[in-house]
Structure 1
Amino acid sequence: MSHNPRLTEAAYQGPALEADRDYYGPIGQQVEDRRVVEEFTIPIRSGQAWEVPAGHVCRISTVEGPQVGDLNLWNRHDPRERFWASRTRQLQAAHVSTFDRLWSTLPFLRPMATIVGDTLADYGTDAEGGRLHDTLGTRCDPYVNTMLNGVDFDYHCHSNLVRAILPYGLTEFDVHDVLNVFQCTGLNDNDEYFMKTCPATPGDYFEFFAEQDLLAALSACPGGDLSAPMFGEGNEDPVENCHPLKVTVYALPENLLGDWSEPESPNYRGQHGLKPQTWA
C-alpha cells in the first residue's frame, strides 16, 4: 500500500493560525524592561482569578516544586467569549507551547492569548508519548471523583475555579475546559488518556501575551505533580506532592508593544441560512 503524506498533514492550515515570530519572539525574550503590575501566589489546592489587560504578559511559574495548574480564560467584558480548548487543539496542537495561540469560542473565534514563553519547551515528546501543556483532558471535578471514588472532595480544580470566579459575577456554568499548564499527558496504545509526573522544577514558567482584556482563573491542582494516581480505589491523598503556583502580570515597554491591535473575529455574515436565500 502506498503512503499518502497528505493523510497525516494538519487538517486546519493557513496564515491566520501562525503567530508573527518576529513580533512575539522579542516579547518573550526581552524581559528586562517589563514592569510588574500584579503578582501573587496561589496556595496548594486553591484557585484565584485575576485580570490581564490587553497587551500585557502573564507568567505562571513554579516556586517550590512541580505543580500542575488548570487555566480558564474569558473576555473581561463579555464572558460568553471564553477559551475553546477543543478548537485550540485542532488549530494549534493537543499540547501547546511558544507561538501557539489560545482561541475563543464561537461566534468570536479569535486569539485570546499568544504563548510567548515556556521554559519546558524542549521537553518535546518522551518515550511514552507524554507531552506538556495539555488541551486533551480537562479539569478534575468532584462529580467524577464521587462517581469513581465514592468520596466528596471540594478542592478539585473545577471547584477551585468556581470559587475563584464568584467575585466577578460568574458561576459554575462559566467554568470550561482548561489548559493544563505544566501537565504531562498523552494517549496510550488503547487510545486512553494518561497523566505522568510533572517535570517542572522551581523557576520554570509558562507565559502568554493577552490579545484582549482577559479574566483568567487558575487552580493549583489537588493532584500536585500527578506522580500519584488520583482516581480509583485505595489511592492515598497526594497532598505531599502539592506545591503553590505564582502568577505575575507584566506591562510591556512601548517599543515591544509597537503597533499591536486586538485581533478581530472572522467577518462571517451568512446568518446560518436563516435569511431568504436564492440559488440562481
Structure 2
Amino acid sequence: MAPPEPAYQGVALDVDRPFYRRLAEDPDRRPVESFEVPIRSGRAWRVPKGHLCRLRTVDGPQVGDLNLWHAHDPRERFWAARTRQLQRAHVSTFDRLWSTLPFLRPLATITADTLEDHGADGDGGRVHDLLGTRCDPYVNRLLTGEDFDFHCHSNLVRAVAPFGLTEFDVHDVLNVFQCTGLTPDDRYFMKACPARPGDHFEFFAEVDLLCALSTCPGGDLSIPLWGPDARDPIDVCHPIGVEVFRPRDDLLDGWCEPERAAYRGLHGVRLPRWAE
C-alpha cells in the first residue's frame, strides 16, 4: 500500500532551490554581526530582509529555542503549528518558517543545515524540532514543585524586553539542534543533541526580522530534566554562536519580500453593495 500523501500541497509551497543554494554557497557574503549567546541565557537581535543568519554550535552540542517576529509589527510572528503542517515536523534546508494569521507568509527560508543528513535514528528521532515547544517555569513547577528562572521561556522573556515585547509575545519555538520524536504510544520524547562543534543552521530573512534565541538550560538534553533520573545538566550546556551576513547584491536580483496573504478577511460578513 502506498504511503499517504501530505495534506497540504500547492504551487505556493514551491521553493526556488537554485536561488537559495546560491545564497548558501556565496563566498563573498559580508559579515554584519557576530556574537555568542552564553549558556542558560537569551538574546534578541534584528536581521534585515535579504540577509542571512547562521546559528552555530561553538564548543559542543547545544539546543537553542528560536522565536521570530516581523521587526516592524510583532503581531506577525512565527507560527510553529502551521509550519509543521505546510513543511515538516522537523525542518531543514529549503523549508520555510511561516507567520501567523492574517499574514501567512514565509518569514524565513532555511538555506543551510549541516545536520540535514541526520535523518531518523533508530527510535525515529529527528532534529530541528517543531513537535514540541520551549521549556518553561510553569511546567517545571507543575512537575517538580520547585521554581527555576532560566528555562527557555524565561530566557526569551528577558531577551525581548529591551525591544518592548513581553511574556505574551513569546510563542511556540523552533527547537534548533534538538532531536525529538514520538514513542510507540504517541508521546513526545527528547534525545541527546547530535550536533558537534561547528555545526550550523542558517536561514534567509524574507522580511525584516526580530529574532530571539534561548540556550536551553538542558544543554544537549543528554540528561533528563524531569523524572527519577533527573539532575542538574549544567555540565552539558554550551553557548551558541550567531552570525548575520549580507549576501552579494547581484544574488538578490529578482527577489522581493513576500506579500501577506491575499484573502480579503471578510470571514463571511457581507459588505454593503456600495462597498463591494
TM range (shorter): over 0.9
Q: Could you tell me how far apart the structure 1 residues matched to 2:77 and 2:264 are?
A: 21
* Residue of structure 1 aligned with 2:221, choices 226, 250, 256: 226
SS in 1 for 2:94: coil
**For the Cα contact (< 8 Å) 1:114–1:208, is it kept in 2?**
yes
Q: Which amino acid aligns with 1:14?
A: G
Q: Could you tell me how far apart the structure 1 residues matched to 2:57 and 2:271 are?
A: 56
Q: Could you tell me how far apart the structure 1 residues matched to 2:67 and 2:85 are?
A: 18
Counterpart position of 1:97: 92
Q: Could you tell me how far apart the structure 1 residues matched to 2:13 and 2:223 are?
A: 36
With over 3 angstroms needed to count, the CA separation of the structure-2 counterparts of 1:97 and 1:234, relative to structure 1, is closer
Matched, 1:250 2:276: no
Q: Could you tell me how far apart the structure 1 residues matched to 2:124 and 2:14 are?
A: 25
Identity %: 67
SS in 1 for 2:81: helix
Matched, 1:151 2:166: no
How far residue 234 of structure 1 moved from its aligned partner, in angstroms, is 5.5
Q: Could you tell me how far apart the structure 2 residues matched to 1:259 and 1:240 are?
A: 48
- Any stretches of 5+ residues in structure 2 without a counterpart? none
The 4+ residue runs of structure 1 with deviation greater than 3 A are: none
**For the Cα contact (< 8 Å) 1:19–1:114, is it kept in 2?**
no
**For the Cα contact (< 8 Å) 1:149–1:233, is it kept in 2?**
no
Q: Deviations over 1:91-114 (max 9, x none)?
A: 000000000000000000000000
Counterpart position of 2:31: 36
Structure 1 segment 1-280 matched on structure 2, within 5 A: 3=1, 5=2, 8-30=4-26, 32-233=27-228, 235-276=230-271
SS in 2 for 1:217: strand
SS in 1 for 2:150: coil
Q: Deviations over 1:62-120 (max 9, x none)?
A: 00000000000000000000000000000000000000000000000000000000001
Q: Could you tell me how far apart the structure 2 residues matched to 1:270 and 1:55 are?
A: 28
How far residue 27 of structure 1 moved from its aligned partner, in angstroms, is 0.7
With over 3 angstroms needed to count, the CA separation of the structure-2 counterparts of 1:267 and 1:228, relative to structure 1, is same
Q: Could you tell me how far apart the structure 1 residues matched to 2:166 and 2:56 are?
A: 26
Q: TM-score, normalised by structure 1?
A: 0.95
RMSD: 1.3
Q: Which amino acid aligns with 1:90?
A: Q
Q: Could you tell me how far apart the structure 1 residues matched to 2:191 and 2:272 are?
A: 53
Q: TM-score, normalised by structure 2?
A: 0.97
**For the Cα contact (< 8 Å) 1:118–1:206, is it kept in 2?**
yes
Q: Which amino acid aligns with 1:57?
A: L
- Any stretches of 5+ residues in structure 1 without a counterpart? none
How far residue 276 of structure 1 moved from its aligned partner, in angstroms, is 4.8
Q: Could you tell me how far apart the structure 1 residues matched to 2:195 and 2:155 are?
A: 22
SS in 1 for 2:24: helix
How far residue 158 of structure 1 moved from its aligned partner, in angstroms, is 0.1
With over 3 angstroms needed to count, the CA separation of the structure-2 counterparts of 1:88 and 1:277, relative to structure 1, is farther
Q: Could you tell me how far apart the structure 2 residues matched to 1:122 and 1:139 are?
A: 25
Report the count of equivalent residues.
Answer: 273
With over 3 angstroms needed to count, the CA separation of the structure-2 counterparts of 1:55 and 1:148, relative to structure 1, is same
How far residue 255 of structure 1 moved from its aligned partner, in angstroms, is 2.0
Q: Which amino acid aligns with 1:8?
A: P
SS in 2 for 1:54: coil
Q: Could you tell me how far apart the structure 2 residues matched to 1:18 and 1:150 are?
A: 47
